[in-house]
């Protein structure tokens, strides 16, 4: 029997028995719905972690030399915290030896940051993320201005009192006037706004656009670290991803030398890449995906059993029809295919409902909660395949029973 003929027949059966078909396919529908929803949540969080959160905090092909990691996703046990607390800071004097060890063409920038109050004469003081940065910082972070300009090399080297501020902060500090050329006050000292930076978006409802960048050697530097010769981090970016590990090893060797570590001792500083920050997330994601697949799988097994039973009933009810078809020349294969296609059409119909419901659920979650869900196209494809697959699996036994019926016996049955 031609494929489309069989599908048409199966669809006609579904149309005639709407309610029965719906309940038959409900198990598959629920299974696929949860699969899509869970995969969407996991996928959405994964994208969010990789592209937004970590991507914004750590630039591509880059790592940061810090005394301890600043992105800790997940649990860090007490002993680790105590060890972090004992670590010495990265010093300004460490920077030059580290930079000397880097291959040519590698970008780097030291920086320090803190959350401080910023004032202007047009607004009350606002809290902002203040970062004192080196020359290549903006290039590494791929950050540009939408108005004004970035710092000149002269301003960087002289430590001029100039700042680039984020769009949200600009709106708060200068609600009515153009911010460019006006002054903000941080820690009692005035800084001239030379540029408005690009929006970096937000995550979990937290804006990334309340920022102030100033040249590293500007007076703001003293506000950021209690220990005046310490810095927060050196960010290093290589041209190609392959050079990243080599650069890390060079930095590691220099720092171990400066801290006089014996080979048996662990590093007392961290080299943080996007990958190390994502490591924990990847571990969690493994469990989530496992749970997200295992739980719907139970639904699908139940759905498959229901479909198998309904198909066995259908074969029993339609024994006479099978007899007629066989008398008219249907081969075993024809009958087998007819029932297999009917089972998988039923199941794919359930899966389609499940995909719609699952995608709807994912969108609903995105609307009403901060969970950034994302319905991946591949998960829809997988949903359809699962539908067809469950149908075929659950249809094999009933279909083979139908195909093996003796035409004489089948015709006799009314």
Partner 1 sequence: MTNETDEAPLSTTAERQIVVGAAGQTPGKDWVIVTRGLKREYDMGGEIVRALRGVNLAVRRNEYVAIMGPSGSGKSTLMNLIGCLDTPNEGEYWLNGQLVSSMKDDDLARVRNKEIGFVFQTFNLLPRASALHNVELPLVYAGISSAERKERAFEALKSVKLGDRVHHRPNELSGGQRQRVAIARALVNRPSILLADEPTGNLDSATSEEIMNVFESLADTGQTVIMVTHEPDIAAHARRVVVLRDGLIASDDRRERFAAKMGGGH
* Residues at the interface with partner 1 (CB under 8 A): 1-2, 5, 12, 16, 320-321, 323-334, 406-408, 411, 414
Question: From the CB of 395, what's the least distance to partner 1, in Å?
Answer: 20
In the complex, minimum distance from the CB of residue 393 to partner 1, in angstroms, rounded to a whole number: 24
Which is closer to partner 1, CB of 324 or CB of 396? 324
How far apart are CB 397 and partner 1 at their closest, in Å? 19
Residues 287, 10: contact at Cβ < 8 Å?
no
Give Cβ neighbours of residue 21 (< 8 Å, ≥ 6 apart). 13, 14, 346, 349
Other beta carbons within 10 angstroms of residue 27's beta carbon come to 24
Q: Token match 């006006």: residue?
A: 182
In the bound state with partner 1, the residue whose beta carbon lies nearer, of 104 and 328, is 328
For residue 355, give the H/E element and its range: helix 332-368
Contact 303, 31 (CB under 8 A): yes
Smallest gap, in angstroms, from Cβ of residue 288 to partner 1?
A: 47
- Give the dihedral sign, CA 356/359/361/363: negative
Whose Cβ is closer to partner 1: residue 290's or residue 409's?
A: 409
Min CB(337)–partner 1 separation in Å: 11
- The rounded distance, in Å, linking the Cα atoms of 90 and 232 is 7
Rounded least distance, CB 324 to partner 1, Å: 5
C-beta closer to partner 1: residue 206 or 328? 328
Q: Which is nearer to partner 1, 65 or 336 (CB)?
A: 336
Q: Which is nearer to partner 1, 1 or 101 (CB)?
A: 1
Tell me the three state secondary structure of residue 213: strand
Give the whole-angstrom CA distance, residue 157 versus residue 259.
Answer: 28
Instruction: Give the DSSP letter string of 141-177.
Output: TT--EEEE----HHHHHHT-SEEEE-HHHHHHH-SSS
Q: In whole angstroms, how close is the CB of 328 to partner 1 at the nearest point?
A: 5
Nearer to partner 1, 172 or 326 (CB): 326
* Residue of 299, 336, 316, 308 whose CA lies nearest to 395: 308
């Amino acid at each position: 029997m031609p494929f489309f003929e069989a599908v048409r027949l199966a669809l006609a059966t579904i149309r005639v028995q709407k309610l029965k078909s719906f309940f038959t396919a409900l198990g598959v529908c629920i299974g696929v719905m949860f699969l899509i929803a869970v995969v969407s949540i996991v996928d959405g969080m994964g994208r969010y972690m990789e592209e937004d959160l970590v991507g914004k905090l750590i630039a591509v092909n880059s790592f940061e030399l810090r005394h301890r990691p600043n992105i800790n996703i997940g649990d860090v046990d007490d002993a680790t915290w105590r060890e972090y607390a004992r670590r010495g800071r990265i010093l300004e004097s460490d920077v030059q030896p580290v930079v000397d060890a880097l291959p040519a063409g590698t970008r780097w920038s030291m920086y320090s940051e803190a959350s401080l109050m910023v004032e202007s004469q047009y607004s009350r003081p606002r809290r902002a993320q203040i970062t004192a940065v080196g020359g290549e910082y903006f290039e590494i972070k791929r950050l540009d201005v939408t108005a004004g300009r970035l710092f000149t090399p002269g301003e960087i080297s002289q430590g001029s009192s100039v700042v680039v501020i984020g769009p949200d902060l600009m709106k708060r500090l200068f609600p009515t006037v153009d911010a460019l050329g006006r002054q903000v006050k941080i820690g009692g000292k005035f800084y001239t706004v030379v540029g408005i930076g690009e929006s970096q978006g937000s995550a979990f409802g937290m804006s990334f656009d309340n920022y102030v960048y100033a040249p590293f050697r500007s007076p703001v530097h003293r506000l950021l670290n209690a220990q005046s010769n310490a810095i927060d981090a050196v960010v290093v970016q290589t041209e190609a991803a392959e050079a990243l590990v080599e650069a890390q090893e060079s930095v590691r060797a220099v720092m171990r030398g400066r801290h006089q570590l014996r080979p048996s001792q662990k590093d007392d500083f961290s080299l943080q890449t996007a990958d190390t920050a994502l490591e924990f997330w990847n571990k969690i994601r493994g469990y989530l995906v496992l749970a997200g697949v295992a739980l719907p799988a139970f639904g699908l097994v139940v759905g498959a059993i229901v479909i198998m039973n309904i198909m066995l009933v259908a074969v029993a009810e339609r024994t006479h029809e099978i007899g007629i078809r066989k008398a008219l020349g249907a081969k075993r294969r024809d009958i087998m295919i007819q029932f297999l296609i009917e089972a998988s059409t039923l199941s794919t119909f359930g899966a389609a409902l499940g995909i719609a419901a699952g995608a709807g659920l994912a969108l609903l979650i995105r609307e009403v909660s901060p969970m950034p869900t994302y319905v991946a196209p591949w998960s829809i494809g997988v949903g359809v395949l699962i539908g067809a697959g469950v149908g075929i699996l659950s249809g094999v036994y009933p279909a083979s029973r139908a195909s093996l019926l003796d035409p004489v016996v089948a015709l006799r049955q009314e």
